[in-house]
Amino acid sequence: MLFLFYYPLVMGILWIFGSLVYFFKREREPSLPTFEDHELPFISILIPAHNEEKIIEETIQYASNLHYPHYEVIVINDGSTDRTSEILISLLDTYPLLRVVNVRKNKGKANALKQGVLAAKGELIATIDSDAVLDKDALRYIAPHFITPGNAERVGAVTGNPRIRNRSSLLAKIQLVEYASIIGLIKRTQRVMGKVMTVSGVFVVFRKKALLQVDMWDTDLITDDIGVTWKLQRNFWDVRYEPQALCWMLVPETLRGIWKQRLRWTQGGIEVILRHMNIFLDWRQRRLYPVFLEQILSVTWAIAWFITFLYMAYQFIFYNNYIMPIFWIGNFLSLICLVQFLVALLIERHYEKNIIKFLLWGIWYPILYWHINALLVIAALPRTIKVLKKDKDQFVTWESPDRGRHL
């Protein structure tokens, strides 16, 4: 009972204050970095795609019209069985920046990204999902992290700020608040502490040298972004967050789609925890300890929440006994959650003035998502153990996810 109450309470307060520190120190007066065009490095934008015939042209159109002087767009068609390859070939004459890499067999997103790096000309590698729409100045906000005098040579990756662009359903609106409030606040706080759990795979820019040093992405892990983040940081590369680099994305709008997406995320997080448990044997990795321990505590909390829920249901069904302390704890934590949402949306107003109106939709998050997240951990644990027993040379394949009503 005490753990169920104090863990989310302490972490919620920590995320609120950590994000405010980040905001007032680095974000209060957002401005576009002033670099001449000739000073900016060449960037290769990689777009891995598998069966994306419905959206790939739109993504290429936006990616080809950015306010950035030196870049190319490389789409890696990973064993698509629909019209993706045909569409890509037809677009080559329309978009001069576009290059296409065809991988005959579906071997997963991580492998597709590896093939893209081998074909890339840039010293910086940007990766975006095949449904992502970059803000026109997104690269201009991120590139200076790699070239500003000081400790820029230590920067291995900079992740952008993902935004939700489909907002017609309840589930989409809840996720809009979640991305701003949960993901945004956590990344800001983790940057204040020095290390992050993961880059946002929908939009991140890597230094090619750093990627090659760590042998790029792990093809046997279900989440490429979490795995490569830990490899970079364990090799002492700095991973940063740039909230001004906006990227618009599509999210699932069905419970089935959300379940599949979050199950993959949860499994990927647990896989990375198990793979990197030996960090405690190396004192040089001590700055990663808080991030690692927080992930262990979050998994433990989900398991405790699930067990407590079953116990409550048992008491109510068989003994007609409703446990009031649990009800009180749930209400108090829901209030803390809404305060967290309010702080996050006030910060995000710098990038989207009307986003505060979505606060009311956040009330569904503790009611709906906490239960789903607990069930996800329970479902992901046996899958993770099974996967880690496999050969590391195996490839985790993928399929096009739920893109919501946009399509």
Q: Is residue 197 part of a domain?
A: yes
Residue at 166 is within a domain: yes
How many helices (H) and strands (E) in the chain?
15, 8
Please tell me the predicted confidence (pLDDT) of residue 325: 61
146 within a domain of the structure (yes/no): yes
CA distance 351 to 118: 35
Please give the residue range of the domain that contains residue 36.
30-253
How much is the pLDDT for 292?
93
pLDDT score recorded for residue 203: 95
Q: What is the C-alpha to C-alpha distance for residues 75 and 109, in angstroms, rounded to an integer?
A: 12
Enclosing H/E stretch for 155: strand 155-164
Q: Which two tokens stand for residue 265?
A: 């995320």
Is the separation of the CB atoms in 198 and 225 below 8 Å?
yes
Torsion of CA 250, 381, 275, 292, to 10 degrees: 70
Q: 12 in a domain, yes or no?
A: no
Q: Is 68 domain-assigned?
A: yes
Tokens standing for residue 34: 């002033």
Secondary structure of the chain: what % helix, strand, coil (to 5)?
A: 60, 15, 30
**CATH number of domain containing 91:** 3.90.550.10
Q: What is the pTM of this model?
A: 0.90
Is residue 101, in this structure, part of any structural domain at all?
yes
Residues pairing with 126 in the sheet: 45, 205
Q: How many domains does the chain have?
A: 1
Q: How many CA atoms lie within 13 A of 92 on its CB side?
A: 11
Q: Is residue 154 part of a domain?
A: yes
pLDDT value, residue 326: 60
Hey, CA dihedral for 178, 159, 248, 254, is it positive or negative?
Answer: negative
Q: Which helix (H) or strand (E) holds 113?
A: helix 109-119
Per-residue pLDDT of the chain (407 residues; tens, 9 = 90+): 788 888 888 988 999 999 999 999 888 876 777 788 888 999 999 999 999 999 999 999 999 999 999 999 999 999 999 999 999 999 999 999 999 999 999 888 999 999 999 999 999 999 999 999 999 999 999 999 999 887 788 999 999 999 988 888 888 888 888 888 778 899 999 999 889 999 998 999 999 999 999 999 988 888 889 999 999 999 999 999 999 999 999 988 888 888 888 888 888 888 888 889 899 999 999 999 999 999 999 889 888 888 888 888 887 787 776 665 665 666 777 788 888 889 989 998 888 888 888 888 877 777 777 778 788 888 888 877 766 655 556 677 767 776 776 55
pLDDT value of residue 34 = 78
Amino acid at position 292, single letter: F
What pLDDT is stored for residue 389 in this prediction?
59
Let me know if residue 4 belongs to a domain. Answer: no
